[in-house]
Amino acid sequence: MAPPILTLQDIHLTFGGTPLLEGAELVVSEGERLCLVGRNGSGKSTLLKIAAGAIEADSGERFVQPGVTIRYLSQEPDLAGFATVEAYVEEGLTEGDDPHRARRLMERLGLTGEEAPDTLSGGETRRAALARALAAAPDILLLDEPTNHLDLPAIEWLEAELSALKSALVIISHDRAFLSRLSRATVWLDRGRARRLERGFAHFEAWRDETLEQEETERHKLDRKIVREEHWLRYGVTARRKRNQRRLGALHEMRDKRRDLRRAQGKVKLTVMEGEDSGKLVIEAKAVSKAYDGRPIVTDFSTRINRGDRIGIVGPNGAGKTTLINLLTGQLAPDEGTVRLGANLEMITLDQKREKLEPGWTVADALTGGRGDMVHVDGKPKHVASYMKDFLFVPEQARTPLHVLSGGERGRLMLARALAQPSNLMVLDEPTNDLDLETLDLLQEMLGDYAGTLLLVSHDRDFLDRVVTSVIAFEETPQGSRWVEYAGGYSDMAAQRGNRDTEEDQTPKSKQKALKKSAGNGSASVRRKLSFKDKHALETLPNTIAGIEADIGRHQETLADPGLFARDPDAFQATAKALESAQLALAEAEHRWLELELLKQELEGA
């Protein structure tokens, strides 16, 4: 391994009397690719700022090898004091840096350099900050949420740009796909300390879960040992007291150790208040078109959305995703075509900019609307302090002004507000921004259980793959722009686009050859009927899936017993493994059923 060029050792930092970092460490070697992960509020951004030299720790050592250059991308870049974007980007250059590279980067990121900073959108501000950080080609790049406010083309361009750099990278991001592609090692910031895995993010979550499971096992062992020693202390022979002072001291040490074993931070409890069922038809759009100042935003678009559908909407910034959603939900009238909404719709929205949060509010005000101390969840009143705990806020934060909250805390607060309202149609605009990975997992599970209909705007490819059933994507063609709907998640859309592009590039003769070849291979594209085996699977898989779901429910009920691990750890482990196997079997069965159902629809349509 190359010698380190940046080292943070035994870093301690306390905010407001609460320890944030307690002996955290970070080591970066030349050309290394690290991702820094952890819960919101664990201190990731703070540790990155210490690494950048932007703030000082209470104690600990920071060492940077002489001559090493560092560039830091803040989560909230500040362009104040600069007349233009170009002035901001070039101010970050040092002697020997190439100014032409700065201009090329601005162009590739869709900026001219003449823009005034106070007129920039969130995405444009992020692009300007990226151009400034990348222009100098530093030895170390420290990137805090670099994909926030970027559209998918920009994210994919950034991945390619960072992959080609020789710089060492330390990245904080909620984008799983981005981290998996770029990282080669993972630093997990947890309860004030940093643990390192010499593998990329793709391997992190399994390692984290195994680590926490081992901790829980050790905690149970220590608990049992303390109980035995306390029993000896109460009922041991009094005459041996003096001789056993060492044993008594060991008991006190164990108690201290147990107190110091801080449990992992609790999980967000996401529950959604569902309204009455809507009709089967939720939205039907026919030949809808909309233009602004002569520029077409949506042209001749049609779709039918039924109850329970989960629709992802993707496209570059400025393509018109918000316009499309407003058309589909009836908030904007089309220039041409018709939009029909189903019966009994109750819609809630989560906007990307968190604009519905009043700056003068406190956390409690935001959840109650400034009316009392109660929140209505599932039709029942719940004290705001109790509801706050479900989203990892402590009761002391009830009177905290919103302007001091972190980006992740604001994101959780908006979720808490939205999910407390009854709905059967949920519109989420970039809900993953600033949320930690564990909260994203729980949001995904909640959306999976949601009985209503979902419209989701997101640039998070992994989240789209996990949540949506179809994707409406913006496309540029020689004939003009259009919105096209694809079955499946983002990866399915990308695969279908690739296949279609290949077919469109072929000459008529080469198309005929390809069709003959695929016919010889039994390709689904030329099959005219399902095989007996496929038909049987299509008929029986729903019952199979229902049986697996019942098994999962039984296993989860067994594991919900808080005393099971202490009574019978072997049974706990066996049930946990059975649950994991059942969940895997369910995913495979559902995937097979979806494949066959899509094939059936395709053949029927043909």
Tens of pLDDT, residue by residue over 32-42, are 999 999 987 78
Residue 28 near residue 168 (C-beta atoms within 8 A): yes
The share of the chain scoring above pLDDT 70, in percent, equals 82
Confidence of residue 235 (pLDDT cuts 50, 70, 90): low
Q: How confident is the model at residue 506 (pLDDT cuts 50, 70, 90)?
A: very low
Q: Which CATH number fits domain 4-206: 3.30.1490.480, 2.30.30.60, 3.40.50.720, 3.40.50.300?
A: 3.40.50.300
Largest CA distance in the chain: 101
Compute the average pLDDT of residues 397-421: 79
| Nearest Cα to Cα of residue 276 among 424, 386, 84, 166 | 424
Mean per-residue pLDDT for 78-83?
Answer: 91
44 pLDDT tier (thresholds 50, 70, 90): very high
Question: Using alpha carbons only, how large is the chain's radius of gyration in Å?
Answer: 28
Side chain identity at 493, as an amino acid letter? M
The model's pTM: 0.66
Stretch 400-418: mean pLDDT: 78
d(CA 415, CA 349): 10
For 428-432, what is the mean pLDDT?
A: 85
Q: What is the pLDDT of residue 265?
A: 54
Contact 362, 370 (CB under 8 A): no
Percentage with pLDDT > 90 across the chain: 36
Model confidence band, residue 297 (pLDDT cutoffs 50, 70, 90): very high
Is the pLDDT at 589 greater than 90? The verdict is no
Q: What is the pLDDT averaged over residues 503-507?
A: 44
Rounded to an integer, the average pLDDT of 525-535 is 57
The predicted pLDDT at position 256 comes to 59
CA-CA distance, 34 to 452, in Å (whole number)?
A: 39
pLDDT greater than 50 at residue 475: yes
Query: Residues 164-192: what's their mean pLDDT?
Result: 93
Residue with tokens 């009920």: 557
- Residue 197 is predicted with a pLDDT of 94
pLDDT value of position 485: 92
Region 460-468: what's the mean pLDDT?
90
Q: Is the pLDDT of residue 575 over 90?
A: no
pLDDT, one tens digit per residue, over 1-38 is: 678 999 999 999 987 667 889 999 999 999 999 999 99
Residue 557: both structure tokens together: 């009920």
Phi, psi of 201 (to 5 degrees): -60, -30
When the pLDDT of each residue in the chain is averaged and rounded to a whole number, the result is 82
Query: Quick one: which of 229, 235, 223 has its CA closest to 248?
Result: 229
Q: Mean pLDDT, to the nearest integer, of 223-240?
A: 58
Whole-Å CA distances, 199 to 96, 127, 184, 212, 219: 35, 29, 5, 18, 27
Query: Alpha-carbon distance 144 to 159, whole Å?
Result: 15
Q: What is the CATH number of domain 281-501?
A: 3.40.50.300
* Rounded Cα–Cα distance for residues 394 and 386 (Å): 9
Tokens 């039709």 appear where? 379
- What DSSP character marks residue 318? T
The listed CATH number (1.10.287.380, 1.50.10.20, 3.30.70.360, 3.30.70.260) that belongs to domain 523-605: 1.10.287.380
Q: Does the pLDDT at position 566 exceed 80?
A: no
Segment 488-503 shows an average pLDDT of 74
Tokens found for residue 219: 């905690």
In this predicted structure, what is the pLDDT of residue 525? 35
* Span 591-605, average pLDDT: 75
55, 8 contact by CB (below 8 A): no
Supply 405's token pair: 């909250």
Q: What is the pLDDT of residue 520?
A: 38
Confidence at 193, pLDDT banded by 50, 70, 90: very high
Site of tokens 């700065």: 102
Look at residue 334 in the predicted model and tell me its pLDDT: 95
> Which one, of 375, 162, 129, 205, lies nearest residue 273 by Cα?
375
Residue 524 pLDDT: 36
pLDDT at residue 123 is higher than 50 = yes
Over range 437-448, report the average pLDDT.
80
The reported pLDDT for the residue numbered 355 is 52
21 near 43, Cβ under 8 Å? yes
Top-confidence residue, 600 or 138? 138
Please give the pLDDT value at position 141.
96
